[in-house]
Amino acid sequence: MGKAGKSLRRVLETYGISQNQLALVMGINATNVSRWVNESRDPAGDAIVEIKTGLEKIDPAAAEDFVMGYLYSADGY
């Protein structure tokens, strides 16, 4: 588990985005974001797209960083 979670955690920390802020923009419960960030649950494939879309609304650079970390890094960095 964890490649998406590691990438998401790093992006949230780097860009100063809270888990709650992302959850609000995505229209989901903050518990889901927490599970992804803490790597207790991997987001489903469609959730990856929704995370990217949510991050784009907050900071387009964060969304790009998330995708690059998730797709091209062996450990989510």
Per residue of the chain (77 residues), give pLDDT as tens.
Answer: 578 999 999 999 999 999 999 999 999 999 999 999 999 999 998 999 999 999 999 999 999 999 999 988 765 45
Structure tokens at 36: 């992804």
Q: Is residue 26 part of a domain?
A: yes
Structure tokens at 18: 């809270």
**Contact in structure between 26 and 40 (CB atoms under 8 Å):** no
Task: Note whether residue 29 is domain-resident.
Answer: yes
Count of structural domains within the chain:
1
- pLDDT of amino acid 61: 98
**Residue 23, domain CATH:** 1.10.260
Show the domain range for 43.
3-72
Does 77 map to a domain? Answer: no
- Residue 2's pLDDT is what? 73
User: What is the pTM (predicted TM-score) of this model?
Assistant: 0.88
Is residue 33 in some structural domain? yes
